[in-house]
Amino acid sequence: MTQPVFAYILYENGVADDTALELLTAAAKLNPDASISAIVAGSGAGLDAVCNAIAASYAEVWKIDNEALAYVNAEVLRGMLVRILPQGCIVLAAHDHFGMDLAAGLSNKLDAAYLPDAVDFEGIENGKLKAVREEYGGQVSTHVLCDISKGAVITVRPGSFAPDESKSAGGQVLDKTADAMEGGLPGGARRFLEVVAAEVGDVDITKSEILVSVGRGIEDEDNLEIVSDLAEAMGADVSCSRPIVDAKWLEKARQVGTSGQTVKPKVYMALGISGSFQHIGGIKGSPFIVAINKNSRAPIFQIADVGIVDDILDFVPELTDKINEIKG
């Protein structure tokens, strides 16, 4: 029998996450013959709206509706999923802050394999799935073989599969709440309290038209001056990658990425940024991207429009001087 595939769908404010339709594509590529169902957990009207919307794309939608899931705590959800998932199935979730919380432990509780952060699938042979992953921040790719014969939990990198927009499933919503709650509410050892919003900074980089963004390649806090000088010459704002914020060189509000801001400038200059998917995930609206990096194989060059292989500490001041000279 073909193993059924389940996609766990995240949503917010009654709207499914972008990854909902990417997981559908991923599931079909994983195994074109498998039945594919969605699982959505939450509570109230927002949940119903999402289930109905998702049923246009997935033939079957499993709904788990409980007040305790008004904010979905992975510890609670994991306990519920273990109760309702059929043995040997394949579970997909996005490799994001939620998937990273849920999936590894879930695989263990299901006694299934765990394949984290898959970016592509290349077929199943003798119960083994061939998949593509990346290592070292995207500097190299690998093929892996994952023994899925006893089931698997797989997190899929957001953005690596195109969304399936066909919406032709005409699916049905099944309420699985009773089964999920059998034996009471699980996961009580971790209790959700509240979400504390990130600090607001003095510039709102989500509104910037031109961003000069700096990464770990800047090496030293004192060198940030060459970045702000370039930004000033260009009439741009300064943004950055995560390590710059971790080092407390710039404020959190200037961080671009999945755990920072989502920006949509016209022009994005990436200086000494390697191009991890968490960073790139924060750049939307297809800006013109210029990457300057001393490593010619840095992943940022895969998504940039224009690349310059050079040391930013040498190149950037010269660029700034030239722009200032032209502007007079």
Partner 1 sequence: MEILVCVKRVPDTSENEIEINKDGSDIERDDLVYSVNEWDNYAVEEAIQIRDNVGGSVTVVSVGDEDAEEVVRREMAMGADKGILLSDNAFEGSDGRGIANILKAEVEKGKYDLVLTGAQADDGAGQVGGMLAAMLDWPYASLVNSLEVVDDKTIKVGREIAGGNLEMNEIDLPCVLSIQTGINEPRYVGIRGIRKVASIDIPVHGAGDLGITPESVGESGAKVKRIDYFTPELGEGAEILEGSTDEIIEKLIELLKAKGGIK
> Which is nearest to 300 in space by CA: 321, 326, 279, 274?
274
> Which is nearest to 285 in space by CA: 252, 256, 245?
256
> Ramachandran region of residue 286, left (φ > 0), alpha (ψ -120 to 50) or beta?
left
Q: Segment contacting ligand FAD (CB under 6 A): 71-79, 194-202, 212-220, 230-238?
A: 212-220
Question: Could you tell which of ligand FAD, partner 1, none binds residue 311, using a CB distance below 5 to 8 A set by kind?
Answer: ligand FAD
Question: Could you tell which of partner 1, ligand FAD, none binds residue 28, using a CB distance below 5 to 8 A set by kind?
Answer: none
Could you give the CA distance from residue 3 to residue 157 in angstroms, rounded to a whole number? 22
> Which is nearest to 97 in space by CA: 27, 23, 155?
155
Amino acid letter, 28: A
Q: Segment contacting ligand FAD (CB under 6 A): 68-76, 127-135, 144-152, 310-318?
A: 310-318
What Cα–Cα distance (Å) separates residue 128 from each residue in 25, 105, 149, 185? 20, 21, 7, 35
Query: Bridge partners of 173?
Result: 61
Residue 317 binds to ligand FAD (criterion: CB under 6 A)? no
Question: Could you tell which of partner 1, ligand FAD, none binds residue 279, using a CB distance below 5 to 8 A set by kind?
Answer: ligand FAD
Could you tell me the smallest distance in angstroms from the CB atom of residue 10 to ligand FAD?
Answer: 15
Question: Could you tell which of ligand FAD, partner 1, none binds residue 39, using a CB distance below 5 to 8 A set by kind?
Answer: none
Q: What's the half-sphere exposure (Cβ side, CA atoms, 13 Å) at 311? A: 4
Nearer to partner 1, 136 or 167 (CB): 136
Per-residue binder mask for ligand FAD (CB under 6 A), 31-50, x = binder: --------------------
- 312-327 vs 224-234: helix crossing angle, rounded to 10: 30
Could you tell me the smallest distance in angstroms from the CB atom of residue 175 to partner 1?
Answer: 27
Could you tell me the smallest distance in angstroms from the CB atom of residue 157 to partner 1?
Answer: 9
Residue 208 binds to ligand FAD (criterion: CB under 6 A)? no
Q: Give the interface with ligand FAD as residue ranges (CB under 6 A).
A: 97, 137, 215-217, 241-243, 255-260, 272-274, 276, 278-279, 282, 293-295, 298, 311-313
